[in-house]
Structure 1
Amino acid sequence: MMKKIQILPLLCISIYGLGQIPNFPTSQAFAPSNLGNFSNPNYGSSASSVIPSVPHGGLHNQRSSQIEQQNARMMQEDFKKVAQEQELRNKQENYYRQQALEDSYYNLPSFSGKAGTQSYYDAYNQLASLNTDNYSISEANFIVENAYYGNKQNYNQFKFGIQKTAKQLLQKMKDRKQDTESNTDKNLMIFEYLSKGMKLGGAQYKAIKYDFEDYMGAKDWSKMFVSKLLKTGSGQCHSMPLYYLMLSEEMNAEAHLAFAPNHTYVKFKDEEGEWQNAELTNGIFTTNSIILESG
């Protein structure tokens, strides 16, 4: 600290040149020639007190600015990542708290001792044992419906009727000289049979109709069943598409169940790879826009 104080007067002299000069203790006045060249900025300064110059080139400033900007971006990215991770943790914690809260609301009694309940336990076990990559739509649907009837229905009889119709439809295609390997032709045959009706094996079959009476099964849940459709020739947007898929399964045709709000229908790809929407409730092919608008 003392060294800094001692050097300070010399720095002031070197910086300000002929600024304020201290009076020296002498009785003889100095002549101007004896004062030396005070205009020299290095006068009275030792070599060690010279302040080195700092380069101020444009390239140096540009490089420093780039480094600062890069560091700022890295910091922003780090802050953003930390904020995202924290948000994810908050969502997970909120989800677990909500689940625990909802679970605490319900303390429902068990109905396992009531008559008929065992049929649904059996149905669940049968569905759980199916191969999810390769199972029969007819079998899965029958398991569900059979539970409602207390496991008293006959699956072989249920499936026989579907297989018989599928074989007759394939024979109809052969009679018409249609390609039985064409996925489009097979789907069109199924759709025609269900929406228009046709003569098969010497018997005339009518088109299936929409059942407007208790179509949601509020009074009688069996209104939703494919087995009910096969007996009465009428169904709704639940049983109709399922029956379609059962026939396509037996005919080795590819079709898919599609969902819309409170509604299901059938989609399949034609030979050009375009998706077609088979609407069985009114017997027409419809567009995606109409389905979206109606939903």
Structure 2
Amino acid sequence: MSGLLALLDDVAAIAKVAAASVDDIAGAAAKAGTKAAGVVIDDAAVTPKYVHGFDAARELPIIGRIALGSLRNKLVILLPLALLLDSFAPWAITPLLMLGGAYLCFEGAEKVLHALLPQDSHRADAAADLQDPAHLEEEKVAGAIKTDFILSAEIMTIAMAALPDGGLWQTAAALAVVGAAITMAVYGAVALIVKMDDVGLHLAVTGRLAPTRSLGRGLVKGMPVLMAVLSTVGTAAMLWVGGSIVVHGLEVLGQPWLSHTIHTLAEAAAHAWPVAEAAVAWAVTAGLDGVFGLLLGLALVPLVAGVIGPVLAWVRR
């Protein structure tokens, strides 16, 4: 009998340890997810543009495919890679992140150039219209997953940096929770955004009350504006996040002059507006990071077009 009681006592102790581990993982994941919130917003702003121009029936399947690709990016590729780099080559994390940031700057700068050169943009749109819809969808999904990879890498890196040192398995579990939760939140929100016009049309046609029908018409009229705003926000987000990654990376690698300059200018602007000091400091920092990201991206566009692109095409042959 005493042996049975001892066994039950051991089982109870193991259960308490397991419960504490779950609590620790949940708490660490919540803290890490909060730290990565800024990049999550950027991710949500970037994604809707990839379903623009497709039939309504294909919007949710496309978002679903991108979400699965994002989950694969985070859990199958980035999580093991982050753990390996953190354990064996922590020095490589910053340069790799800077490469990802430079890619975001390049993509954002390309969007700006397309907006400033509408003829080239119209030609690109016309070429897209001539493509087979299935092939165009594959291209869009692949491009979205590629962009998501960079943002996901930043999310997972920020999350890992925010986690306390709790051992390999606890860190892996917390990162998995963060990755899965953020993916569901981002792409759930994106699905709601892109289908809101369909919801509005349904309310406008079938609503029994006049206010309901008015709400539906307002949603139908307002969604194109919202999608245009999100497209602009997505481009700005690419430049802001990419620029901030490179600026921070330069500081980590021993070149802090740019980061210090931005910080000094942000502090000066904040002191000039003491009523909203924190908000002004953040806005100036983000704006200057974005300007740097745009300049870096514009410098990379001819390099990619004239050197990197042809080299990659030659390697793939």
TM class, shorter-length: under 0.3
- The structure, 1 or 2, with the larger RCO (C-alpha pairs under 8 Å, 6+ apart) is 2
Instruction: Give the structure with the larger strand fraction.
Output: 1
Say which one has the larger Rg: 1
Instruction: Give the structure with the larger helix fraction.
Output: 2
Query: Normalising by the residue count of structure 2, what TM-score does the alignment of the two structures yield?
Result: 0.26
Query: Normalising by the residue count of structure 1, what TM-score does the alignment of the two structures yield?
Result: 0.28
